[in-house]
Amino acid sequence: MALSGPVGLVWLRRDLRTRDHAALFHALRGCAQVHCVFLFDDAILAPLARADRRVEFIHDSLACVDVQLRTLAGQADAGLIVRQGLAEEEIPRLAQQLGATAVFANHDDEPQSLARDARVRAALQSAGVALHTYKDHVIFERDEVLTLAGAPFSVFTPYKNAWLRKLNAFYLSSYPVERYAAHLAPRPAQYRHLPTLAETGFEPTNLHQLALPTGSVGADQLLADFVPRLAQYGDTRDFPAVKGPSYLSVHLRFGTVSIRELARLAWTESSQHQSPGAAVWLSELVWRDFYHQILAHHPRVVTQAFKPAYDAIAWESGAEAERLFAAWCEGRTGYPLVDAAMAQINQTGYMHNRLRMVVASFLVKDLGIDWRWGEQYFAEQLNDFDLAANNGGWQWAASTGCDAQPYFRIFNPISQSEKFDAAGRFIRRYLPQLAALPDKLIHAPWKAGPLELAAAGVSLVDAGEALGASSYPRPIVDHAEARDRTLARFSVVKGAVDSQ
């Protein structure tokens, strides 16, 4: 292959690894010398709280990338360049300083990212530098899986079937980065310093106390732990007190693990070894691709319902809605499974997938609050926040999205609790004030009698009252009454839905 130029610059974004990396492979194969940069983009960082687990996760993962680059190159002066500023200013400036004739990056189809890349491309072009981008974050992107009519899918099952028909070993093969590692260039002396977290303007969080391993080394640890549990994934994934998930979602989000590696494992185990758990896990990975192609084809979903008729719904507003929303955010709804799930996200930045559906349904269909409020709160709190998946999940729960649950399907937070946390193990972990209640009462403490509450050391308080160490709020809404209100609220779209 003819070299595209003497010097190339790889711009890392949501792909913080060196193994099986599309842009890095193409740069190394096409250029005589290759530098790698990660930019702390001020446009992204500015709105964030100064203590943000995601920034700390990225910071720690960059140190891992730096070590891997130096190891691949076999020289101490190689490694990662880390800059901070605006992408449209810093990337062109660095490319010119390094004498790069091309910048290589992987696709990011979020609307703001596409706009950013357009600005960077224009600035690079004016400096005579090309920008090359590649698929890396999903197995199939954009227009790669379409209906027979050439249109994007809006229903998951036929999309999944088409996805599986198209899948073969080629799409799951790794990029052999190591083959061209000799083209990694030493960094100029002024670029060899990796900034501390404080130098980026951020503070430490409880990330390390959570024992969440970072970088691709951390992803490898989690994957090795998950593989022996993979066969049981379908049976265990819905129970928040059970170690069922892979816990790799944050690593997929920041690309510290290759989606091809994970999908290859799931595909091999399900097709060759008939592992039912692997088949379920592969389906979850297909959902991820599905939501990414929905975002690519329908960027309006960022602010609007996928089903336009649902934008006519009148959500609760005003001071009462704000009060109910605050109670939901703070885990003060009086429904233990909901409150325990909110405690989990607030304390750790993670929430079990089953619970994401439960709390989303509760916010939208019990409290009547716009799904966009909850989506934004998750965007602020989740370590693994991914716009496509977060938006898709919230619109699914709110019945406003593609292939969403019907509007009349309303999760009962008590029955969900009894079914998926029957012994109350998850609730007791995050709501210790309820720990002494018997299993049959921990899902609905207000059903306990005075003697049972006293024996458990629990005092129930009305909404708005201060909570003490042993107190717990009464429900802020009656589920049965809320269900009736939701059916009435969604009646505005019933005719449109029935005619589909």
Cα 266 to chain center, whole Å? 19
Dig out the tokens for 361 from the structure. Answer: 């349904």
106 carries an active-site annotation: no
Strands (E), 74-224: 80-85, 102-106, 130-134
Residues forming a β-bridge with 80:
36
Catalytic position from the list 261, 315, 346, 452: 315
287 carries an active-site annotation: yes
Residue of 99, 96, 94 whose CA lies nearest to 80:
94
394 carries an active-site annotation: yes
Rounded distance between C-alpha atoms, residue 318 and residue 331, angstroms: 20
Amino acid at the residue 93: R
Residues forming a β-bridge with 105:
133
Catalytic position from the list 371, 373, 383, 391: 371
Catalytic position from the list 89, 178, 316, 353: 353
CB 289 within 8 A of CB 140: yes
> 3-state class of 44 per DSSP?
helix
88 carries an active-site annotation: no
Dig out the tokens for 232 from the structure. Answer: 């049981």
Rounded distance between C-alpha atoms, residue 411 and residue 405, angstroms: 10
Within a 13 Å sphere around the CA of 229, how many CA atoms are in the beta-carbon half? 15
Catalytic position from the list 287, 328, 373, 396: 287
284 carries an active-site annotation: yes
Residue the block writes with tokens 């007190």: 241
Within a 13 Å sphere around the CA of 170, how many CA atoms are in the beta-carbon half? 4
What burial letters (b/e) apply to 16-51, b meaning 16+ CB within 10 Å? bbbbbbbbbbbbbbbbebbbbbbbbbeebeeeeeee
Catalytic position from the list 89, 141, 144, 284: 284
396 carries an active-site annotation: no
CB 216 within 8 A of CB 256: yes
Active site residues: 284, 287, 315, 353, 371, 394
